[in-house]
Amino acid sequence: MNFDLKKVLFILLVLIVLGLLISNYKIFLKVIYPLVYKDLIFREAANKGLDPYLVAAVIYAESKFDPHATSNTGAKGLMQIMPKTGKWIAKMKSDNDFSVSDLYTVKKNIEYGCWYLAWLYKRFDRKLAVTLAAYNGGLGNVDKWLENDRWDGKHKNADQIPFTQTKNYVNRVMKFYDRYKFIYKEEGEDSFF
């Protein structure tokens, strides 16, 4: 009889824990998909006309919110900006005080990353999948793929992207973007894309 009581109590405990997880699943999801530097992301995204949840998705895909991240190719910081790209952005923004080490600064990295995303988004006629492909695979490569009809620029046809890493990147960021909107977007909040 004592054994049956322990079994029933264990099952009851498991059901209570499952109930709490189900009723608070967004709290659980926020642990998996954090939104670190929220105020800065929202401010810079708004300044550049971007959806902050897209910016969060890019940061999550690029560095998992690690401001000291460095890729094998030398990309730096939260949004994994290449030094050459950082210098070009600084020139475009007339930021004469820029140093490559600034890419490890949270504020500068988000500012530059948002500027570059917005620039690409405008450059590619507000096509999000193409923007993400260029952010990862390079502007010149994406131009060639589109000009040579290797990819039509649509997310649903991302399997046409010649670089496996870029194809996977576009799909991952789009998935993360959907998740960030689902987890964090407030009811009644305007949609950007």
DSSP at 33 = S
Catalytic residue selected from 44, 62, 111, 147: 62
CA 38 to chain CA centroid, Å, is: 13
Let me know if 62 is a catalytic residue: yes
- DSSP alpha helices (H): ranges in 35-184? 38-48, 52-63, 83-92, 106-123, 128-137, 139-147, 164-184
DSSP at 162 = S
> What SS3 state is found at 50?
coil
Active-site amino acid positions: 62
